[in-house]
Structure 1
Amino acid sequence: MFAGRKFAAFLFDMDGTVINSIAAAERVWTQWAQRQGLDVGKFLPTIHGVRAIETIGRLNLPGVDPVREADALLQAEAADLDGILPIAGAVAFLKSLQPERWAIATSAPRELALLRMKAAGIPVPAVIVAAEDVTRGKPAPDCFRLAAERLGVDARDCLVFEDAPAGIAAAEAAEATVMVISATHGHPLQTPHMAIASYDGLGIAIDDRGWIAPSPELAAA
């Protein structure tokens, strides 16, 4: 896997990558889109992997304040945690990592991220970069670069786990290596990157420096 490469740290997106929150998120966004008179079927695919304020802002809806609407959506999403589950194998895989060697970089606000991780039983890392921590959201590379910086490593030495096109583009822009998680994809995602459907069967090998290599062979050990 990755031709024997080792990484200084692993950086994870959250929604769709370590947890499955699609049902909850789409319930809330569907109601919002209906109130705005949007075509829900066309709109929903655009919400994933991007900060709410940017999703709303690029619509340029007359009379709609993206900041106010994003805040309202945060409260609605925080109140709807039904059906939020971990991606298969994610909990055990994250617990196998050294705390100083992994972080979450999400487009969700910190409050919502913590609620969803708790609902899914996902361990909370020491480093979380959330929506409010960066000026530019994905597909800009800022969140991954900041997460790497807070871990004391270079983003170019990191493996990023992502599921959404905006996040993949952000990781590429940060010059990180990318692993695509396809667990929540309804349709195949065309990507040049390695893709796995779950963390089941994925283990790690750690060298003397603490650098990590994904190792499918170790997972069954």
Structure 2
Amino acid sequence: MDVPELLEAASLLVPEEIATENDLTVGDVWEYLTEDAWEVAFGLLEDLGGARHLPLGFWERMADAAEQLRMKRSAAWCHWRCHETRYGVIRADLTLRPASETRRRTPLPGAGTLRPMWDIGHRTPAGEPDLAIAALWVEVTPFLEPGGRATARLAPFTPARWQHLRPGRAITLHEGRPPAGTAVVLEVRGPAGPGALHAPVPPRHADGRG
């Protein structure tokens, strides 16, 4: 499909009653499509996708359209949402330790390319932390400075190991010793469709939605 066909197909998966904060609906998307304002229509569809949990097909078509439009940030975000639709959502309030207290001296990339280790409560037979891997997406900002705080989304490499998490649970981010930060779980939501207990981490993308 070309871009207009992909956006039209995505728009058909958006219920007409959904509206953005500015009261724009899928009807407005169709108007932009008739005017060949594809990037504007894409942005509005992206906003509508944040207002309601939409099916996997919506995000797949959006990802394809973003790639054809060479919108790397949005393509990365849509692929991330595809992964969350398949395997569930984990959001947490993340606080990084200051640069003086950890090995990290540079901002942490927030667009899903980093795959750090996490202490989520599992222990080895010897009683040591049995760390788990999860890709990291920082909401709102593309980077998080040492000592910074932001809401983050996690994509576990092995989702079954994370099923015990509940809102309020504290977990620890590791990039070596000492730990790089701490997080408090805000939201845990299961997959919207048929999931998989051993899901791959989302593919690496050049950039992401900030």
Q: Using CA pairs below 8 Å that are at least 6 residues apart, which structure has the higher relative contact order?
A: 1
TM-score by length of 1: 0.24
More helix by share: 1
More strand by share: 2
